[in-house]
A = this chain, B = another copy of it.
Amino acid sequence: MFIKELTTYFNFVKENINFGALFKSYNSMILDNLRTGKKLILASNSPRRQELLRGIGIDFITFVRDNIDESFSADIPTDKVAEFLAKKKADSYQDIIDENTVIITADTVVIYENEILNKPADKTDARRMLQLLSGKKHEVITGVCIKSKEKEMQFSATSVVYFDTLTNDEIEYYINTYKPYDKAGAYGIQEWIGYIGITKIEGSYFNVMGLPIHLIYKALKSF
């Protein structure tokens, strides 16, 4: 089982990536330290995270294992959960990290009045979450772990998001059209509901989308 997965991984890598060209030449003055043969792996299926990491001008591959344990103890303070889960995810890729690999994992949690809102189980749950968030502010925390054979860094960023009062029609329309079942808190800030319903944020917009990308850039510069 493990061997099969590892073979799939190496075949994927071989077919998709020329490691020598991992870091684009136009970006040559920046992130120099990462250009010397390091392979960057983003362990996330989120197209938003992939878009954000591409946005800082480095190349990477994505590789994600199924069935990663994302449980956490109730003892962990809600504002530490994202970082805890990012580290837990990174640890579960330990076996594929060699001398030339850097892996990035992340976890985003939505917190409303100290309650973590996960991905909604169904339409009723999505409706409940959006009704909670309507007209109120909440926090979005993305935790990140960057890990190589020798080093490991964890950090997180918090953004406060303010929702306008949403009508039931708007909530129904959004859920039916965008089916936000893969999104913590049942919304994507970059989708219709974010355009019409979010009045302001305090913090990083990209952090709400899924990565505190300015912190990742900074971390990679000194990693």
- Give me the interface of A with B, judged by CB distance under 8 Å: 26-27, 29-30, 52, 55-57, 159, 164, 169-170, 173, 177, 189, 192, 195-206, 213-214, 217-218
Contacts and interface: CB of A to CB of B under 8 A. Distances in A.
A29 to B, nearest CB: 5
- Copies per complex of this chain: 2
Contacts of A195: 52, 55-56, 206, 213-214, 217
A189 B55 CA distance: 12
Nearest to A199: B214
Contacts of A192: 55-57
Contact of A30 (B55, B169, B199, B206): B169
Contacts of A27: 173
A213 B217 CA distance: 29
B213 A204 contact: no
